Structure 1
Amino acid sequence: MDTAFTRLVGVRHPIVQTGMGWVAGPRLVSATAEAGALGVLASATMTLDQLRDAVREVRSRTDAPFGVNLRADAGDAGDRVRIIIDEGVRVASFALAPSRELIAELKDVGVVVIPSVGARRHAEKVAAWGADAVIVQGGEGGGHTGEVATTVLLPQVVDAVGLPVVAAGGFHDGRGLVAALAYGAAGVAMGTRFLLTSDSTVPDAVKARYLAATVKDVTVTTAVDGLPHRMLRTDFVDSLEKSGRTRALAQAVRRAAGFRRISGLSWPAMVRDGLAMKHGKNLSWSQVLLAANTPMLLKSAMVDGRTDLGVMASGQVAGVIDDLPSCTELVDRIMSEAEETLKSLELLRAAR
């Protein structure tokens, strides 16, 4: 299927596997790329050396294009951009709007820049700064999310910018891809659907929790870091919501210490990262620390399998997913479903 997005990044299918922390590693990304979609490495949970090694591992597994996702507000974002450039990565995606300078540095050497946005004004801003495309996530999407549904946000952004727009939030099959194309998108991005594949390294017991979830088991909470965060509702999430400030601060300090050991960040650096994620919100100190070490909460579930001690970011589509295909099986299925849907629409038109 040929769209403005597939032509831009050089993939066969207009599908993106998003950069999920602790989930989107070399195995998942290379499997996605081999399936003909765009796999995106999640770099926020990697050191600089780990990022370089991960990029090289993906390159050793596939010749297909892939991308790296960055946190634009990270203190070492510039260093990560230089790794992307040095290693010849095709695409740089950003969880937040990158600066005009970072966009220019990447584009000067031919790297495709694709920020993720959650509002029309943000899409307009990065488009004016030179972004090549945007991923637009509606409120159905997992992780940090907004309030506007994809079906409302997507056409707004398509109408506002003259760039390829990739739709995220609520997509898991070929019918969704066709719907996104009808709204004017050039492709879809999916996180939870790729997390729930056999190529994902998430522990089987955690995948089982996702597969058992209903739509009502996916909630939005601000208890983790003060920002709206869509995830599976668990006893741990309930405990965070019920914790008083003293208990929450104690939990945050303990987990922040663990993340500091893994990441090598200093306490001042962690606090700076936490404050950078406030986005104008009035966060408590416990929330600032939790914002800085949210990756540790994700690691507990996504790597260690401790659903009782971690959080499981999730899109609402978890409630309608019931299998674990390989990335190739998933992408092939989505494209087949899309073709069948398009044929059905053609028959409707022909019957008039």
Structure 2
Amino acid sequence: METALTKLAGVRHPVVQTGMGWVAGPRLVSAVANAGGLGILASATMTFDELRTAIEEVRERTGSPFGVNLRADAVDAGERVRLLISAGVRVASFALAPSQELIGTLKDAGVVVIPSVGAVRHAEKVAGWGADAVMVQGGEGGGHTGQVATTVLLPSVVDAVDIPVIAAGGFFDGRGLAAALSYGAAGVGMGTRFLLTKESTVPQAVKEAYLASGLTGTVVTTRVDGMPHRVLRTELVTSLESAGPLRGLLRAVRNAARFRSLTRLSWAAMAREGLAMRRNHKLTWSQLVMAANTPMLLREGLVNGNTAAGVLASGQVAGALRDLPTCEELISGIVREAGEIIEHLPR
């Protein structure tokens, strides 16, 4: 199924596996690439050396194109961009809008730049700066999310920019891909659906918790890191929602120390990243400290399998999923179903 996305990224199918922290590692990314989709490594939770090793491992596992998700406000963002260029990575994606300079550096080296956006104005800004495409996530999506549903946000962005648009938030099967294409998108991005595959390294007990959730099994909370965050509704999340501000602040400080130890970032480097986050998101100081919760709480659930003490980012589609296919089964099934739907639409 050829679209503007497949031609741009050099993949066979217009299906993107998003860069989920602690989830999108070499095994999942290479499985997606081998199945013809665009797999994206999540680097925000990796040190620079870990990212370099992960890219090398993906290279060993597949000869197909793949991408790397970067934090534009990371203190070593420039160094990571140079790594992608030297390693010949095909796509650079960003959760936050990269600067015009970063976009230019990547494009000059032949790297495709695809920022993720949650508003029309953000899409217009990065398109004006030279981004090759944008991924648009509606409010149904997991992790940090907005209030506008994909069915409203997607066509608004398609109308506003003249670059390929990838639809994310609420997609999990061929019906969704066919719908996205009919809206004018060039493909779909999926996170939760790929988290629930056989190649995903998320512990089995955690996968079962996702599969057991219902359509109302997620909640958007600001008590994880101060920003709207869609997660599974667990006992921990309920506890965070009911906890007083002082208790939440103390928890965040402890998690900040744990994350610093794990990533070997200096306190000065964390402070610089924090100040950039505060400036970009207009966070209060309290919210900024709370933002340190995210990496460690997600790691506790998605890596250590502790559903009682961890946070599980999730899109609403978790309530519609009941199986764990391989990436090959998932992608081929989505593309086949979408093709059949489009072929049989009334003309």
After TM superposition, is the score higher than 0.5? yes
What's 1:11 paired with? 11
Q: Which amino acid aligns with 1:262?
A: L
Q: How far apart are 1:74 and its partner, in Å?
A: 1.3
Q: How far apart are 1:269 and its partner, in Å?
A: 2.6
Equivalent residues of 2:41, 2:69 under 8 A apart: yes
Q: How far apart are 1:59 and its partner, in Å?
A: 0.4
Q: Which amino acid aligns with 1:267?
A: W
Q: Which amino acid aligns with 2:228?
A: P
What's 2:54 paired with? 54
% identity of equivalent residues: 69
What's 1:283 paired with? 284
What's 1:214 paired with? 214
What's 2:320 paired with? 320
Equivalent residues of 2:192, 2:314 under 8 A apart: yes
Q: Which amino acid aligns with 1:330?
A: L
Equivalent residues of 1:252, 1:289 under 8 A apart: yes
Query: Bigger shift: 333-342 or 48-57?
Result: 333-342
Equivalent residues of 2:248, 2:290 under 8 A apart: no
Q: State how 1:124-143 maps to structure 2 within 5 Å.
A: 124-143=124-143
Change (3 A) 1:233 1:276: farther
Query: CA offsets, 1:18-41, max 9 Å, x none?
Result: 000000000000000000000000
Q: Which amino acid aligns with 1:283?
A: T
Q: How far apart are 1:292 and its partner, in Å?
A: 3.1
Specify every segment of 5 or more residues in structure 1 that has no aligned partner in the other structure, as ranges. Answer: none
Misfit runs of 4+, over 6 Å: none
Distance 1:206 1:271 in 2: 32
What's 1:87 paired with? 87
Equivalent residues of 1:271, 1:292 under 8 A apart: no
Distance 1:275 1:167 in 2: 31
Equivalent residues of 1:274, 1:290 under 8 A apart: no
Distance 2:204 2:168 in 1: 25
Distance 2:284 2:199 in 1: 37
Distance 2:248 2:159 in 1: 43
Query: CA offsets, 1:166-223, max 9 Å, x none?
Result: 0000000001001000000000000000000000000000000000000111110000
Distance 1:276 1:183 in 2: 35
Q: How far apart are 1:282 and its partner, in Å?
A: 4.4
Query: Bigger shift: 242-251 or 1-10?
Result: 242-251
Q: State how 1:42-191 maps to structure 2 within 5 Å.
A: 42-191=42-191
Q: How far apart are 1:290 and its partner, in Å?
A: 2.8
Equivalent residues of 2:253, 2:292 under 8 A apart: no
Equivalent residues of 2:224, 2:293 under 8 A apart: no
Equivalent residues of 2:255, 2:292 under 8 A apart: no
SS at match of 2:291: helix
Equivalent residues of 2:251, 2:293 under 8 A apart: no
Equivalent residues of 1:226, 1:281 under 8 A apart: no
What's 2:254 paired with? 254
Q: How far apart are 1:244 and its partner, in Å?
A: 1.4
Distance 2:281 2:289 in 1: 16
- Is residue 299 of structure 2 the alignment partner of residue 299 of structure 1? yes
Q: How far apart are 1:293 and its partner, in Å?
A: 4.3
What's 2:28 paired with? 28
Distance 2:292 2:110 in 1: 32
What's 2:269 paired with? 269
Q: Which amino acid aligns with 1:139?
A: G
* RMSD (Å) for aligned C-alpha atoms: 1.1
SS at match of 1:216: coil
Q: Which amino acid aligns with 2:166?
A: V
Q: How far apart are 1:274 and its partner, in Å?
A: 3.1
Q: How far apart are 1:267 and its partner, in Å?
A: 2.4
Query: CA offsets, 1:262-309, max 9 Å, x none?
Result: 011122332333343344444353x32231341111100010001111
SS at match of 1:116: strand
SS at match of 1:340: helix
Q: Which amino acid aligns with 1:110?
A: G
Count of aligned positions: 346
Change (3 A) 1:275 1:294: farther
Distance 2:258 2:46 in 1: 15
State the TM-score, normalized to the length of structure 2: 0.97
Distance 1:28 1:43 in 2: 14
Distance 2:255 2:38 in 1: 33
Equivalent residues of 2:93, 2:113 under 8 A apart: yes
Query: CA offsets, 1:214-261, max 9 Å, x none?
Result: 011111000011110001011111111111122112211211111111
